[in-house]
């Protein structure tokens, strides 16, 4: 069996691709799994570190506005398609996750290799909208993102798919030097951090609003670490054990990227989502199902303030029954078996094409 995964660019595209690759490798240890990527993406480090073969192709970013780069687009696309066809030679299936590499991969595979499209966001990007038109199977995370898609969810790493917050809680709180009694607020904005979240948390500290909670705050690797002035406020540049951070936390403040929403839903953590105020609005849409179910709050970037934290979030942390109810509601939307279900689908597509 040879399977090609196309999900380069950002971690939101790469991680699901690698998690599906892990599930395929677990059931087919001899399978050849190849990842497509470009020199511009995080896949140059993430893919090799997970033990998979990486093949680089020409990056074909689509300009958001008409400019001079449009003239080079046809040539770049033709080159990328040709490169993809070389990688796809002998492949049994292509699984695309969107991003720069997905569009040329879909066009290269059309009529030659069975295609499975996975859409993580509530609003599908151009590459997946194109690929879905001639794919053998289409999978989505939020209902209605692509016509005819089967809702499965985002494939997660095994340590989150088999997650037990209660079992890990004592170890997790010891890892972050937290006490057992006081509720824990986890704040993060991705590996790069989120300046707005950091600014609001600093204001909360300045106003003495966080005295009754413990805080784990990942500020981002490029942002300065706040000075430690409290035994209950723990600032980190980056959290390398997110599983333990999730196990230690009672509530989360975060952006609402598709992967973040999927992970918090799977582990059953209530949250306040602050969608990134750029893009096509997909982050707000990603959070909507959890908010509608009663498992999360959602506030615009502009309206997220220290006053909002004090009024809406901190009171929840002082009410265990409300936390438990929100955790139950958000967990009902998670799917810890997404990786295995997509691996099942890959097997079915390959069997049907032979």
In this structure, are 39 and 142 located in the same domain? yes
Of 65, 64, 45, 67, give the one whose Cα is nearest residue 56.
45
- Work out the mean pLDDT of the chain and round it to a whole number: 92
In this structure, are 134 and 177 located in the same domain? no
The torsion angle over the Cα atoms of residues 271, 316, 301 and 155, rounded to 10 degrees, is: 0
In this structure, are 48 and 134 located in the same domain? yes
Of 87, 86, 82, 134, give the one whose Cα is nearest residue 104.
82
Range of the domain at 153: 2-158+336-353
In this structure, are 195 and 80 located in the same domain? no
The CATH code of the domain that includes 291 is 3.40.50.2000
In this structure, are 301 and 344 located in the same domain? no
What is the domain count for the chain? Answer: 2
In this structure, are 26 and 121 located in the same domain? yes
In this structure, are 100 and 202 located in the same domain? no
In this structure, are 149 and 11 located in the same domain? yes
Could you give the strand order of the β-sheet that contains 271-273, starting from the edge strand earlier in sequence? 233-236, 214-218, 184-188, 251-254, 271-273, 296-298
In this structure, are 150 and 256 located in the same domain? no
In this structure, are 208 and 116 located in the same domain? no
Could you identify the residue written with the tokens 């720069």? 100
Residue 163: per-residue pLDDT: 87
CA distance 16 to 127: 16
- Its pTM stands at 0.88
Model pLDDT for residues 139-168, shown as the tens digit of each residue = 999 999 999 999 999 999 888 888 888 899
Q: Which stretches of the chain drop beneath a pLDDT of 70? A: 63-70, 191
The torsion angle over the Cα atoms of residues 261, 265, 267 and 271, rounded to 10 degrees, is: 70
In this structure, are 199 and 108 located in the same domain? no
Residue 64: per-residue pLDDT: 63
Interior/surface letters 298-310, b for 16+ CB within 10 angstroms, e for the rest = bbebeebebebbe
In this structure, are 140 and 208 located in the same domain? no
């Amino acid at each position: 069996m040879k399977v090609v995964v196309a999900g380069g660019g950002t971690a939101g595209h790469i991680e699901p691709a690698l998690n599906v690759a892990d599930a395929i490798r677990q059931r087919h240890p001899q399978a050849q799994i190849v990842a497509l990527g470009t020199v511009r993406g995080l896949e140059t480090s993430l893919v090799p570190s997970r033990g998979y073969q990486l093949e680089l192709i020409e990056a074909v970013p689509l300009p958001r506005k008409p400019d001079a780069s449009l003239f080079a687009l046809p040539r770049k696309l033709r080159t990328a398609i040709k490169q993809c066809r070389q990688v796809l030679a002998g492949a049994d299936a292509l699984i695309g996750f969107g991003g720069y590499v997905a569009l040329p991969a879909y066009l290269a595979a059309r009529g030659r290799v069975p295609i499975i499209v996975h859409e993580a966001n509530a609003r599908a990007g151009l590459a997946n909208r194109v690929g879905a038109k001639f794919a053998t199977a289409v999978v989505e995370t939020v209902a209605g993102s692509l016509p005819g898609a089967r809702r499965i969810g985002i494939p997660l790493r095994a340590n989150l798919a088999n997650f037990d917050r209660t079992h890990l809680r004592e170890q997790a709180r010891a890892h972050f030097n937290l006490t057992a009694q006081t509720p824990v607020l986890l704040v993060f904005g991705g590996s790069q951090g989120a300046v707005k979240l950091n600014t609001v948390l600093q204001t909360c500290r300045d106003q003495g609003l966080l005295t009754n909670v413990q805080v784990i705050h990942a500020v981002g690797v490029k942002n300065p670490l706040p000075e430690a002035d409290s035994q209950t406020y723990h600032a980190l540049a980056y959290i390398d054990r997110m599983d333990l951070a999730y196990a230690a936390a009672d509530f989360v403040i975060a952006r609402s990227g598709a992967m973040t929403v999927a992970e918090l839903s799977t582990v059953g953590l209530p949250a306040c989502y602050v969608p990134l105020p750029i893009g096509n609005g997909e982050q707000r849409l990603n959070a909507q199902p959890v908010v509608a179910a009663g498992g999360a709050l959602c506030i615009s970037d502009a309206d997220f303030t220290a006053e909002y934290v004090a009024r809406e979030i901190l009171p929840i942390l002082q009410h265990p029954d409300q936390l438990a109810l929100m955790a139950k509601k958000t967990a009902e939307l998670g799917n810890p078996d997404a990786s295995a279900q997509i691996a099942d689908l890959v097997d079915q597509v390959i069997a049907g094409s032979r």
